[in-house]
Chains A and B, each alone.
Chain A
Amino acid sequence: MLKYFKIWIIFAKVSLIREIQYLSNFWMSVLVEVGYALGTIFIFEIFFYQVDHIGTWTKGDLYLVYGVFRIFSAIGSFVFRANLERFNSLVNSGEFDFVLLKPISPLFFSTLRIVSFSRVSQFLIGVAIFLWALSQVNLDWGPLQIAMIFIIIPLGVTTRYSVGVLINTPVFWFERMKNIRQLEYTLFSSARYPRIVFPKALQHLLIFVIPTLLVASLPIEVVLGKASIWWFLVYFIVSLAFLYIARTVFYFGVKQYNSASS
């Protein structure tokens, strides 16, 4: 474990050096992140221009979900998103050969090698939205609520990573899946909205099959006292189950891999 952490630190240093070399790309990424956040805030404001609340959800509640969503998305983007974005070309170009030759886990190397420092802005935006939303909601803060907030983030990152790996793994079977990375983004865009928005059947699908509602909306419901605390246990189990499934499917896919030249 320590060995992998040391390797990851080296990956992070190399990534930082590369990002400093292309500072204009860095600033463009910051601009895009700010644009996405402002775009979503604009859309939420239009929602609440029409109505005062969505069911039992107030504007503050919705922003709290969005803040958490931005924070774990930012951490996910910082740690693995760029890797998943180029996973398709890594496999199709045959470069995955070199991954298999390395004396470390192919999953680790192919999904955690590039660290995106430009996503720090996304994290800061998420924290700002989260803090603002906290001031808007009626919440009695106790140790349990604070502990839950700290659990939500790593579980959210883990779940997003697992789903990201699962979505990208079909590349081992299908030759060209350039746009599959967009699918992960689209599916997780549902994580920004409260559960009540979706019909019951879809809610179950988005909790147990593609667990997007588990990463932000449902745990925030628990924190706000709108849902049972048992959902946290469900979240914990589903999150770990997905990590296990993602790892298993990935290595099953690796067995199907044929180098591009063969």
Chain B
Amino acid sequence: MDKYQKIYDFLDGIGTEEDHKSLFDQLSSNPELASEFKKLIAIDSSVSSNNSFFQPSVDASNQLYEKLGFSNGLKTPFYLGFLNFLRNPKFISGLVGSFATIIILWSYFTFWGNNGGSKSDNLINGSFISKSSNFNENLPTSSLNVSNKKFDGSGNYETKSVSGNKNSPKEIINYINNNKYLFYENGSLKEFNDLNNLNEYINAKNINTDKSKIFDISDSKYSKPYGKGLDIRNSTLRLKSIDLVSNDFQYESINYLPKDLEFHFLSNLGERPGNGLEANSLSGKITYLPIKTSNYKFGFELAKENFLQNFERQIENERTEFFTQNPSLITIGLGARAYLFNFNETVHPYLQLFAGTAFTNEFNLYSGYFGRIAMGTEIESKYLPFNTNIGLQYTNLGTLYDNNVFNANTISFLIGVSF
């Protein structure tokens, strides 16, 4: 038997306690063997199960994954780790196989400042329209630029402009709201509830009406430009003034800058007669799609989309007023997502189409439609229990609202997760 055999057995964990005891007895009586034992221990222990010394590079593993068509396991930033709390089993079980999307629509919309004075008016054309004052109680004082166009009797208008601070837009707007008559006297405006009161005032004070005129506020026209993007709005009041001497009427325009900055990141231009503007407010959408297991998948969506539209509308006496409507549409639809190609094993670009019905509170399921087309990407993560989705979506939807066709186009961002 090899003189080292007992040592080898000991190093390999072979043998009984008695064998080991025998070995140590031998070692104590044989210094040479004890020295060899120590050396063999040193050799064995230096390498014993030390395969941790052998670490293939990260590149080698990533290349292997790529060769097999797998995602390469790029690390997700640590700060995303907090999302792991979403891995609660109850939460996940309710969402397995689903895809949730939240549309965030940026639509910071400040239509003419404070709209708090709105009131309901059900009588206009028999429709439910919220009539708003649309005028800021605290309009900034601005210059009054009056542009008079007086009919000279020969078919021409004489134009003259007057500038000053004598009448702020706020005053005039308040008069308009109250449907009162104004008397322009020596550079200031006086208010009258009706024309008779105004005439009484003129007669009582024996005013030289050659230099005076009345403003028929009921014939005022108020206009306001609309559009998308960053917008500094210039507003115009057009007043019909009546010359008490000649009975000629003329229009005077008051231009002023309300200093309202409106930023319409997303807006919708509708088809309503006399429409001004439609704008999204915050909307939400849940889309259910299974996680990527093949190059396509099908799902459904439920969404609620809110809009705000402000528009001019002419009523019986040709007076133009402003109104606000808040169509709130519910959409239900089916759709599909197709993955275009694997960008780099973790990034999967996709094209997505959804279509279905859209309806308002009037609840006529078949009254409207919607269609969405989206492009985005689904991103896999090695350390998160879900995939992240980002994309850009175009939507067209239409329905009947307030006895009119409501139609809107939106562009929105998609942000979501796939389980």
**Do chains A and B stick together as partners?**
no
Please give the residue numbers on chain B whose beta carbons come within 8 Å of chain A beta carbons, in ascending order. none
